A and B are shown apart, each in its own frame.
Chain A
Amino acid sequence: MLTRRLFLASTAAPLLWRARQLHAETPRRGGVLVVAADTEPRNLNPALVASNGVFYVASKVIEPLAEMAYGEPGLEPRLALAWEGSADGRSLLLRLRPGVRFHDGTSFTSADVAYCALELWKKHQNLGRVVFKDLEAVETPDPATAILRFSAPTPAQLIANALPALTAVVPRRLFEGTDPLANPHNQKLVGTGPFRFVEHRPGQYYRLERNPDYWDAPKPWLDGIVYRVLPDRGAIAAALESGEIHLAAFSAVPLADMQRLAKLPGIAVIEKGYEGITYQLVVEINHRRKELADVRVRRAIAHAIDRDFVVRTIFLGWAQPASGPIPRFDGRFYTADVPAYPYDPRRAEALLDEAGLRRGADGVRFALDLLPAPWFEQTRQMGEYLRQALKAIGIEARLVVKDPAGHQKAVYTDHAFDLAIGSPVYRNDPAISTTILYESGLPPGVPFSNQYGWAEPAMDEVIRTAARAIDPAERAALYRRFQTLAMEHLPIVPVVEFTFLTVARTNVREVASNPRWAVSNWADCWLAA
C-alpha cells in the first residue's frame, strides 16, 4: 500500500534534487569531499571482499570492469569496453580499456585481469567463488583482450550482471607470489580509480587524493575524499548539520531523524542511488526444528506479519512490502505472480491448529528462540515486532541478541537458532547472492546461505538448470519459477525490501548518478561553491 507520506517521501525529494541539478551544469574542479564512515573493514581489497562496507571506500581507488547505470543496457564500461559471451556459454570475450595506468605507474593489461579472475575472484572472493566456480582459464592474446574460459556453460548475462560488484582489478605485480589474504596492499590500496589511497588512521579517517593520471580526464572533479570515522549515528547527524561533513550514505543517520534533517536548509535526503543493492528483511527459519519443518507453520508465521506496519513504523515509509526473493526493481526477473501471504492472524491461527499445534492452557502453542541480526536498527526492531506478532498467534519467541560475529556463527555455522531476522542483499542477478539462500547441500559456515536445513529437489533442480541456461529469456523463465517455488514452500519469509538513503549538503553534486552510487567511483561528483 502506498501511503500519502510514503508517496511524498519517495517522489518530492528526488524531483527537487533533479531540478537543482539541471540549473547548475558545469562541474567545478576542486574541493575535498568529507563523508561519514561507520565501519573500518580489516581487509579493504574489493577483489577479495565483495561487500558494501569495503566498496564504500575502496571503489574510489580500485575499479571494476563495468559499473551499473540507469536505463538500458544497465551497464557502463569502466576497465572493460565491451564483453561478449560465446553461443555455447563456455567463453566470454572482454575488450579492455587501453592506456590505463595503476597508481604505481604500471600499465593495466589483460594479465592483471587474468590473475585477479583466477587467483582472487575465483579462489578467495565471497561472491566470486560462486559465480566464477567454473572458470578454468583466462587467455590473454594481447594486452587489451582477455578471454574467460569456463569448464561448464556459464550464462554471459550472469557474468555481465556480476561485473560491477565482483570484478575489481588490482595490479598482478603486487599480489603474484604472495599470500593474497595477507598482502599489505589489502590495506594500502593500489588501483586504477579516480582517487589514490593516501592513509588510514584507525578510528579517525581514511584519506584519498585526486589521481591526476585518471583515464577519464578531466575527471575526477574533487581534489580528494576524506572518510571521517563516526561510529555514533547521532554524531553523524550533528556533523551534517554543522557542515563538518558533506555526506552520509547507507542511512547512517537514524530514519527517525531523516524527516527533521530533510527540512533543514542546505541538506537534502536522497532516496535514489541504491537500487542496484536492494536489501530484504527476511525471517530465516531453522527447518531442523520439527514444528517449523511443517509448511503450514511457516505460512502461519508469514500471515502473522503486518508488512504495512513494518513499512510504516520500522522503516517510516522508506521500504516496500516484499512479494518474493527478487525485488521489484529488477524487471528482467521479477514476477508478482507468486503465492502471497497477506496479514491475517486468524488464518495463521487456523493453520497452526490444522498443523496440530493447539494453544496450551497458558495460551502458548510452542516456544522458540528468535535471533535478530544486530547490524541494522531495523533488523533489531523487526525482532521485537516479530516477537509480538508471534505472541498474538500463540507462539512464544525468546529474543537472543548477539554481537555480529556471534550472530553469524550461531545462524550460519552452528545452526543454533529457531527463527532469525536476516537482511540478504540482491545484487543485480538472482544467481549472485539470492539462489544460494535456497539451494541445499552447502557446508556449514557459508554466511548468508541456506544454512536452514531446507532441501527441496524441485528447487535445487531449477537453480541448477538456471545456472547453466545461456539464453536470457530461458533464464528469466526459470527464475520466475524459482520465485514461485520460494513462495510456495516458504523456506524463508521475505518481509520487506529496502534500500538506503543518502543525506548530503546541497552543494554536493551528481549524488545518486547510478544505481549503486555509494559504492561507485565518484569520478563525476563535484562540490558547488
Chain B
Amino acid sequence: MSTALLRFARARAALAALLLLALFLLAAAAAAWLWPIDPDAPVAAALLPPLADPAHPLGTDRLGRDLLARLLAGARTSLLVATGATTAAVLVGVAIGLFAGAAGGLVDESLMRLVEAFQIVPGFLLALALVSVFGARLETVVLAIAAASWPAPARLVRAEVAKLRRAEFVQAARVAGLRWPEVALREILPNALPPVVPMAALTVAAAILIEGALAFLGLSDPNRPSWGAMIAEGRAVLVSAPWLSLLPGMALAATVLAVNLVGEGLAEALAPRRAAA
C-alpha cells in the first residue's frame, strides 16, 4: 500500500511539475505578447520594490529596468541554453554510445576511455574553462555545456546496446540477413532509447544550473538577461533590495525542481513498460 501511495504522490508531483514547466515555457515563448516591455531599457525609477507600482509589479533593478520583463527574458535564455545543450549532448552521446556498443572491441575500448577522460573533469569546470577561452556568447555557452554533458548519455546508451546485442531479437535480425549498421539503427537503437529520455530531462536540469552558475560568474552572453547574472547583479544590493536576487533565484530553483520531477515521473512511467517488453 505504501508503495502505491508513494507512486501516487510522485505522479501528482510530476503532474504539477509538468504544469509548472509548461507555464514557464509558455511565459518564455510568449513574453513579447504577455508583457511587452523591453527587458533592457530603463523604464522607471531604479530599485522600485515589488508591488509598489502596478506598471512594474515585480519592481525594477539598479538601472530602472522592469524585473518581470527581465525574468521572462531570463527564462527564455535559460530554457534556450538548456534545451540546446541537452539536444546536442544527447545526439552526440547517443551516437557515440551506439557506435561503441555496436562495434565493440578496440573501438569500444578507446571511445569509452575518451568518455572517461571527459567524465573525470567536473562538468562545471569544463564548461567554465571552455567559455572563458572561447568567449561568453550564447553559442559557446551552449556548446560548453553540451561538451560537459554528453558522456553520461553515451555511457548509458553503450551499456544498453552492449546488453541488447545479445538479445534474441537482435540475433534473429542478424540471422535474417540484416547488416550491422541496419541492426544497430533499426533494432537496437529504438530499444536503447527509453532510459535516455529521463536522463535527458535530468541533463536539462543540470544545464539550467550550469548556465546559471556561469552567468553568476559573469560568463554568460551579456546581450541577454540571464537568471544567474541577475542573481549576481542583485548580490551587491542584497540587503537594501533583496528581491533582485531572490526572484530570479526562486525562478531558477522552481524550474530546476520542475524539470527534475518531470524527469523522475518519466522514468517511473517508462520503467514498467520496459519491464513488460
Q: Which residues of A contact B (CB under 8 A)?
A: 233-234, 237, 254, 256-257, 259-260, 309, 313-314, 374, 377, 381, 383-385, 387-388, 391, 398-403
Contacts and interface: CB of A to CB of B under 8 A. Distances in A.
B87 to A, nearest CB: 25
B236 A313 contact: no
B236 A400 contact: no
A256 B237 contact: yes
Given A237-B239, A402-B135, 6 more contacts: A256-B62, A256-B237, A260-B239, A383-B222, A388-B42, A391-B41
B238 A234 contact: yes
Given A381-B63, A401-B222, A256 B42 contact: no
13 contacts: A234-B235, A234-B236, A256-B236, A256-B240, A256-B241, A257-B236, A257-B237, A384-B63, A384-B222, A388-B42, A398-B223, A401-B218, A401-B222
Contacts of A254: 236-237
Contacts of A314: 63
The A interface is mostly helix, strand or loop, or mixed, namely helix
Interface in B189-238: 218, 222-223, 235-238
What 4 pairs across the A-B complex have the smallest Cβ distances? Answer: A254-B236, A399-B222, A256-B237, A401-B222
Nearest to B218: A401
A314 B41 CA distance: 14
B119 interface: no
B40 A384 contact: yes
A401 B136 contact: yes
A109 to B, nearest CB: 49
Interface residues of B, number: 21
A303 B257 CA distance: 48
A383 B63 CA distance: 11
A309 B47 CA distance: 14
A400 B136 CA distance: 8
B135 to A, nearest CB: 7
A238 to B, nearest CB: 8
A400 B62 contact: no
Contacts of A398: 223
Contact of A257 (B40, B135, B240): B240
Nearest to A392: B41
A237 B235 CA distance: 12
A418 to B, nearest CB: 14
A234 B233 CA distance: 11
A385 B136 CA distance: 19
B237 A313 contact: no
Nearest to B220: A401
B64 interface: yes
B46 interface: yes
Nearest to B235: A234
A464 B43 CA distance: 47
Nearest to A402: B135
Contact of A309 (B42, B239, B240): B42
B175 to A, nearest CB: 59
A377 B240 contact: no
Contacts of B238: 234
Nearest to A237: B239
A377 B40 CA distance: 17
Contacts of B240: 256-257, 259-260
A388 B40 contact: yes
Contacts of B64: 313
Interface string B230-265: 000001111111000000000000000000000000
A400 B41 contact: no
Contacts of B135: 400, 402
Interface in B62-104: 62-64
Contacts of B41: 388, 391
Contacts of A402: 135
